Amino acid sequence: MTHEHDHDTVVVGDSGGSGMGAVLGVIAIIVLLAAVWFFALGPGSGSTTINNSNNGGGNTPTETQPAATQPAAPDASY
C-alpha cells in the first residue's frame, strides 16, 4: 500500500513593504521640518528683548518710599 502525499505550492508575495517605508520617511521629514520651523522661526521661538538703553544714570536703582501704614482698626468684640 502506498501513501500519496499531496504537496501544495505556497507562493508568498511581497506586497510593497518598501513603499510603506518611503511614505513613513516622507511623513517623518515633514514632521521634523515643522518642528524646526516652530521652535526656530515660528511662534514657539519666544521673544527675547534686550534693553541696552543708557540714560546717563548708570546702574543705580531708583529709591522707593515705604507705603503709608494705617493704624489697625479697634477690635469690635464686646
Mind listing the pLDDT tens digit of every residue in the chain (78 residues)?
566 777 788 887 766 667 888 899 999 999 999 999 888 887 766 666 666 666 655 555 566 666 667 666 677 666
Q: Are 45 and 39 in contact (CB under 8 A)?
A: yes
**What's the number of CA atoms in the CB half-sphere (13 Å) around residue 70?**
3
